[in-house]
Amino acid sequence: MMMQKRRWKNVGLMRKMLSCAICTIAMMALLSVHLHGAPPYSKLPDPYRLPHPCSDRNPNCTKLWKPPPNRNYMPCTQPSPNYTSPSESRGYLLAHTNGGLNQMRAGICDMVAIAHIINATLVVPKLDKKSYWQDSSNFSDVFDEDHFINALANDVKVIKKLPNEIGSSMKAVKYFKSWSGMDYYQEEIASMWADYKVIRAAKTDSRLANNNLPPDIQKLRCRACYEALRFAPQIEAMGKLLVDRMRSNGPYISLHLRYEKDMLAFSGCTHDLSPAEANELKTIRDANDNWKVKDIDPMEQRSKGFCPLTPKEAAIFLCALGYPSNTPIYIAAGEIYGGDSHMGVLQSRYPMLMHKENLASSEELEPFTNHLSQLAALDYIVSVESDVFIPTYSGNMARAVEGHRRFLGHRRTISPDRKALVRLFDKIEQGKLKEGKYLSDHVIESHRNRQGSPRKRKGPISGTKGTDRFRSEEAFYVNPLPDCLCQGGSRNLNSSIIIS
């Protein structure tokens, strides 16, 4: 009897094991079908299926990813009790922006502040369609137009287009002086209302001073930039999708790799390029009338730190900082000049290189194709939301993202000291220095204070005068402290730029 019970018990156990095995096989089959039928971006290539650097108990993990101490700085953009909402408008301000996405963003926010200063109704700005990027996008294609208008209702009256009854004879085209203060706009520009109903700003970049403006005007610039100027819903949604897909691999770096044809042609940087490539870039520079400097010494440019890091140099820099080879990296850039021929070292050291085209399907990206401003907006979102942002060149994109990350809590932004790094890279190429602990210790120590921690905006370089003095100042949108950040204040903005 006991033997029979034991036999039935064993049979029952075998049945349970067999049932579990069948269920397991069925689940695996279903999973296989699901993955096979999913778009290519949902199943990363095998080299990407590596343990994330923070999945183990690596003691350096928090050092690599955590943001710098923000000393309890919070956004404080609310106007003071003395701030006045717009009264009856004296006329209309038209703004024709110039440059790429981030140059236009800063210009639009300055035009908001200028419209308030001169008591004008702001017509939704026109985006630049004639620059190097040749993008046909309108304001509403890139930004949420209705949100922009409504968010600024207590600051500036904004309308979508100029009323039909306004005659062309009442318009004036004006090149506002660069880095101008309150007196210039309250006196010289506002005096034009006596003769004109419409003033058109022919350019918008750097038309307002970085410093020495009333606190309420500075706070208005921040409200315009970080609250009102939101990307169009379709861009926000696509940006959120890209961020989510990067996040599925854990914390990630956004590497703004400015190794693109236009930047290399403009800067005259030819290090690691072939003679044919260098000649092609010079031809492009010579043909562009807007780029005034034609004869550039590439070696001098590089030695002064005026060149973007090459992909190979970026790889050496990341390794020296201590980021392991399985670190997810988003390449925030357009087409890299030379493609695979220049990306080989970076790709081999960091196989988890991601970009828009391998995070999303061609169908998902199709609405943004051939619109460089919209594609740049996607890179902007992924970069602002990244755990670490590293720009290889201090251009408009790098500066705008750095400022936004400072505003959102001083997220880690590592700014390479290109001038110092070039000397190290040259020693490596000459065989005088090897990669390893000495190089790593040196790079980490020299970049300890270049991580995006709170500091006041830098003023002009001592001894500079006139235009050079203003040009040498740190731009307002690179660092909104102290104007729009206060210690211990209450936060009045969500901690993300993405609509949830």
Pick out the chain residues at pLDDT < 70. 1-60, 132-133, 489-500
Q: Which residues contact 425 (CB under 8 A, 6 or more apart)?
A: 313, 316
The pLDDT, as a whole number, for residue 442 is 96
Alpha helices, H only, 322-475: 340-349, 356-359, 362-365, 372-384, 396-407, 418-429, 437-446, 466-471
CA distance readout (Å), 146 to 143, 326, 384, 444:
9, 42, 23, 45
Q: What digits encode the pLDDT tens for the residues 269-303?
A: 999 999 999 999 999 999 888 788 889 999 999 99
Reported as a single tens digit per residue, the pLDDT across 399-417 is: 999 999 999 999 999 999 9
The pLDDT value recorded for residue 47 is 35
- Tallying the residues shown for the chain, one arrives at 500
Q: What pLDDT does 356 receive?
A: 95
Confidence (pLDDT) at 493? 43
- Residue found under tokens 């993008």: 135
What pLDDT is recorded for position 334?
A: 85
E strand segments, 208-307: 253-256
Q: Tokens standing for 322?
A: 């201590």
